[in-house]
Amino acid sequence: MPKMKSPQLLSILFILMSTQLSATSDVSNNKSKVYGSENESTHPHHERSNGRMGVHGMALFTDGVKLYASHMPLYHFPHDYQLIYEVESTHQPALIAYLTTNSLNTHKEAPLLSIVPEVFDLNSLINGESLGVSATLFKGHFEREGTEWIIDQNLFFKKQLFKQRLEKKDESGSKHWSQVVLNGQSLYIHSINNAPSFDALVWGKACPHLDHSKSSIDVPSKMQIRAMFSTCSSHQIAYYETQDFVR
């Protein structure tokens, strides 16, 4: 076997080392691409560095005069706030007419209209700012076979009425309701507690005493909620949700 000269040996070693480094680099790049893809597919607009950017679904309801939007909260960031705003729509008369199909003077539940605004930073509403966004309105729940109905090019969030972050609470939190007086009647807002819990909005007029003992269970039925408000001269469930809070 002929003796290999040193320069030739060095060249072969250099080629072998370059090949190994290239292969290692390709594997690393492939891992980075896979990892990046997973990150990008999971809530791309929800990074904390971008505030609370995202699609923030809401429930629309009315007192027969004005429109209100309630953020559909979740336990996790960036959706972990209960927020209620007075809103104005370019389709205001049609929306109020639909929502008052069941009279506010009865004990029936109001029909559900849900809102899917364009991507925006929820911090704007948390901070009490006014904001106009394009939004799609659905008859029913937009994530549960709701029917797309109206596109509003400028749904205006006019005034913040209620704000509360979803945080761990003690057991008494399951019975806590906040009250906001609007146009001569009260809107009762259930404070979402640790899971299992529920989100609920109830209109009530002339409610001398609310018997929270009838809501001693973590997730009362609609019938049990109505029993709580039975002392009111009139009441109506404007919104009721359990599925997002049963984990």
Q: What is the pTM for the complete model shown?
A: 0.76
pLDDT digit string (tens) for 183-228? 889 999 999 989 899 999 999 999 887 766 555 678 999 999 999 9
Are the C-beta atoms of residues 229 and 207 closer than 8 Å to each other?
yes
Over the chain, what is the mean pLDDT? 80
Nearest to 57 by CA among 121, 125, 141: 141
Residue with the two structure tokens 């995202």: 54
Predicted confidence (pLDDT) at residue 35 exceeds the cutoff of 50: no
Other Cβ atoms within 10 Å of 124 Cβ, number: 15
Residue bearing the bigger pLDDT, 30 or 110: 110
pLDDT digit string (tens) for 90-144? 999 999 999 997 655 555 678 899 999 999 999 999 999 999 999 999 999 999 9
**Mean pLDDT, rounded, for 146-165:** 96
